[in-house]
């Protein structure tokens, strides 16, 4: 059976995004767990939000594993600036933490801007952030590298660039 979904409006809370998706007959869903313009490296998700979200899913045909969280657009774990990379890496870890608490299937994120033009070094930084997040957060929520349009020094434009990131992430 195909899964039909969309990134639905979450006005009123992420549980309302679930309700809107279900009302439209969807069997999958994409959401943000926090404002997408900010790194959100210090934002946690309140237990009552988790409860409302899980209850909303239970009342629909949308399985938690068919929910995809989109990480903030501002995360740039490809960034060559150490301070900015550290904050972005912390933001990716926090996103995985929030998403794991919700019990969703995956988090997708854009790797970000290489800045210095060294795509090999940027791939290493992205992989390092992925490994850090996976080691910090225990759970079944997956991290997905979303390809980009490749404007400027964006990394992840081609399958080869995404592959260069993923080959640096150990299987364990």
Q: Which band of pLDDT confidence, cut at 50, 70 and 90, is reported for residue 153?
A: confident
**Span 62-78, mean pLDDT?**
95
| CB distance 39 to 79 below 8 Å | no
pLDDT for the residue numbered 172? 62
pLDDT for the residue numbered 98? 97
- Residue 146 DSSP one-character state: P
| CB distance 52 to 13 below 8 Å | yes
pLDDT for the residue numbered 9? 87
Mean pLDDT of the chain: 93
| Token pair for 119 | 């795509």
Instruction: Return the beta strands (E) in the chain as ranges.
Output: 5-7, 28-31, 67-70, 106-109, 112-113, 142-145, 154-155
**Span 96-115, mean pLDDT?**
95
Inform me whether the pLDDT recorded for 150 exceeds 80: no
pTM of the complete model: 0.94
């Amino acid at each position: 059976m195909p899964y039909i979904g969309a990134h639905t409006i979450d006005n009123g809370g992420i549980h309302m995004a679930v309700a809107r998706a279900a009302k439209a007959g969807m069997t999958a869903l994409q959401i943000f767990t926090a404002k997408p313009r900010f790194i959100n490296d210090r934002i946690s998700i309140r237990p009552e939000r988790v409860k409302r979200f899980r209850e909303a899913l239970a009342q629909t045909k949308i399985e938690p594993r068919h929910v995809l969280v989109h990480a903030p657009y501002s995360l740039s774990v490809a960034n060559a600036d150490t301070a900015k990379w550290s904050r972005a890496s912390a933001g990716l870890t926090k996103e995985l933490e929030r998403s794991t608490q919700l019990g969703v299937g995956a988090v997708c994120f854009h790797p970000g801007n290489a800045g210095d033009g060294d795509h090999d070094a940027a791939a290493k930084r992205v992989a390092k952030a992925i490994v850090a997040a996976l080691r910090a957060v225990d759970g079944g929520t997956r991290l997905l590298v979303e390809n980009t349009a490749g404007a400027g020094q964006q990394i992840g434009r081609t399958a080869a660039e995404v592959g260069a990131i993923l080959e640096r992430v150990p299987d364990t």
